Amino acid sequence: MTTMDTHVPSAEDTLGPGFACLADWVTTTDHKKIGRLYLGAGALTALASLVIAALLAAERIDINRELLGAGSLTQLFTLQRFGLLYLTLAPIVVGVAVAVVPLQVGARSIAFPRLAAAGFWAWLVGAGLAVYAVVMNGGPGGGEPRFVDLFILATMLTMAGLLASIGSVAVTVLTTRAPGMNLRRLPYLAWSSLVMALALVVALPAVMGLLLYLYVGHHYPSLADFSGNQAFGGVVGFGFTQPFTLVFLLPVLGFAADAVATATHRKVGPRGPIMIGMGLLSLGFISVVAQGAPGLSAAFRDLSGGDKIKELIPFGIAYGLPALGALLVVGPTLQSLRRKPAVHAGLVFAVPAALLGLLGAAASVLSGIGDAALGGTVYEEGTMGVLVAAGILGGAGAVLHWLPKFNGRTVNGAKVAPLALVGLLGGALVSLPMMIAGFADQPSGIFPTVTGDGPIVNFQDVSGPVALWNSLALVGLALLALVVLGTIALAFLGGSKDAGDDPYDGLTLEWATTSPAPRHNFDAIHIVKSAEPLADLKISNRSDA
């Protein structure tokens, strides 16, 4: 009998181990790797965004000294806003959702894995092109038309990539849950990711549609209001600010609730109000659908009763309900800590992330009140800063919490607690001084403005210690960058090996598989009978014993 050699050379045989590893990551369709690609790239872009924000804060410390050229300030301000939202907050929360949610719902893989991977690469390429365009004097306010066009297209590509990946997560939750896992039995991270995905599916395409108008209007210059390079903020600015950005807070709070439940070995409840709270938090997307945040006008007190109601209802939906939703989630989550939780790495980051998230949601409400006269001040930057800090802490916590499922390591919670406290301090310093400065009318935006004879600082009339506020913000940004660097180091080098399959005595399905989780996630599909399937099993085992 003739035998045939059926050996097919592997990539490692032909390319060598280094290239094979690279090729594996570049072509991967494993959701855990795609999620980690998002988190890794998001960490690097977060560092870059924090550095840019720090440069702007340094510029503001001494209002009479110009550190950076007036021209580059415009570009840096653009990059800061774009970077903090779409290169920091968004990839972190989307990365966590892509990496963890399929495990939580008992799926063997993410739905449309190639689409999810393509989404990551589209986001990465779009982000790179956007940064390149701004550096080349493109972007809003840029003077090079070709690169203004490129920035608009790159922003659309970035959003499309995020949509593709988070859409895959939504389809996974809707179609590939384990048997018995209805939507009410979803872990909080999975539910919050689903809600965020649906909100983004509604909101981001609306921003992209208007970006298309901007592109056509700019590429074929006309007299249209949106044809100039200054029109970006007016036409799509609502896609880069609160209350829309609160949508990205959802997975942070979902992770916090799951981490507390794992640490206390009890469910965090009541589930109904918490899940409703997450739904309410997503209502920030209304500001995009309405193409502008419906705030209360400055003359609100003088309005008639009927007109007051006309303003209050949309204001309540866009600002009030998301803040109420955050309270409905964070309140019971923190209340559960009375049960003496075990100090896990995830927990020590989850609590400050939840606190900062609640602060961000609450602070957003004030920015919509016209009588407070906070529009156009740095108050909005402070609110954005606290949301970004919550995202960074939430992302760091999620990475360390689920690290056993990624690389089989566990990190000691007590040892990383100082890093979490540094993050909490950083978040407070980034936001609170800016909020106070906002009340003192420190203007947001680009400065110094150049008029006539030379540079004029346009906030020289601001009362209060401007240098102190901006110095504190600078320190806060540095602390957040430290948290990002520390998390990267811990994820790659820290912790102990041999974590075990269920190192935290968890409650949800991801702890039922091996550490690290295999490519197909689970050897067997599990039947779920409650929101805490592993807790049911452990109680049953104890009863049997």
Partner 1 sequence: MQALPTAPMATPRRQVFVGTALALGAAATALGAMLAMWLRYRDAAISVPGGSWLPKDVSVPMVPANVMLIACLPICIFAQWAVYSAKRQDKPHAGLALGLVALLAIAVINAQAYIYSQMAVPVNEGAYGAMFYAATGTVVAMAAIGVVFSAVVAFRYLGGRTTDVEVVSAHALYWYVFSAAYAVLWFVIYVTK
Residues that bind partner 1 (CB under 8 A): 111-112, 163, 167-168, 170-171, 174-176, 178-180, 201-210, 212-213, 215-217, 220-227, 235, 288-289, 291, 501-502, 512, 524-528, 533-534, 537, 541
Cα angle for residues 301, 307, 309 (degrees, 5° grid): 90
Which residue, 313 or 527, is less far from partner 1 as judged by CB? 527
Beta strands in 111-170 (DSSP E): none
Distance CA 350, CA 330 (A): 10
Which residue, 466 or 531, is less far from partner 1 as judged by CB? 531
Query: Minimum Å distance from CB 111 to partner 1?
Result: 5
Which residue, 180 or 418, is less far from partner 1 as judged by CB? 180
- State the maximum Cα–Cα separation within the chain, in Å, rounded to a whole number: 98
Q: Confirm if 322 and 364 have CB atoms less than 8 A apart.
A: yes
Pair type for strands 454-456 and 449-451: antiparallel
Query: Minimum Å distance from CB 42 to partner 1?
Result: 22
Q: Confirm if 402 and 395 have CB atoms less than 8 A apart.
A: no
Query: Minimum Å distance from CB 116 to partner 1?
Result: 11
Query: Minimum Å distance from CB 415 to partner 1?
Result: 26
- Label residue 123 exposed, middle or buried (CB < 10 Å: 0-12, 13-18, 19+): buried
Beta strands in 96-196 (DSSP E): none
Give residue 11's identity as a one-letter amino acid code.
A
Tokens of 172: 């996974």
Q: Is the dihedral of CA 436, 441, 445, 447 positive or negative?
A: negative
CA distances from 259 to 104, 107, 176, 194, 397 (A): 13, 20, 23, 18, 9
- 344 half-sphere exposure, CB direction, 13 A CA radius: 32
Which residue, 198 or 387, is less far from partner 1 as judged by CB? 198
Which residue, 307 or 523, is less far from partner 1 as judged by CB? 523
Total number of residues shown for the chain: 545
Distance CA 191, CA 194 (A): 5
Which residue, 206 or 450, is less far from partner 1 as judged by CB? 206
Which residue, 2 or 541, is less far from partner 1 as judged by CB? 541
Tokens of 201: 């599916």
Beta-bridged to residue 451, according to DSSP, are: 454
For the chain, how big is the Rg over CA atoms in Å?
24
The torsion angles phi and psi of 355, rounded to 5 degrees, stand at -65, -45
Query: Minimum Å distance from CB 471 to partner 1?
Result: 41
Which residue, 176 or 458, is less far from partner 1 as judged by CB? 176
Query: Minimum Å distance from CB 525 to partner 1?
Result: 5
Residues with Cβ within 8 Å of residue 457, at least 6 apart in sequence: 63, 64, 447, 448, 449
Which residue, 346 or 533, is less far from partner 1 as judged by CB? 533
Query: Minimum Å distance from CB 463 to partner 1?
Result: 38
Query: Minimum Å distance from CB 71 to partner 1?
Result: 27
Query: Minimum Å distance from CB 185 to partner 1?
Result: 13
Query: Minimum Å distance from CB 314 to partner 1?
Result: 15
Give residue 336's identity as a one-letter amino acid code.
S
Which residue, 441 or 536, is less far from partner 1 as judged by CB? 536
Cα angle for residues 359, 46, 18 (degrees, 5° grid): 140
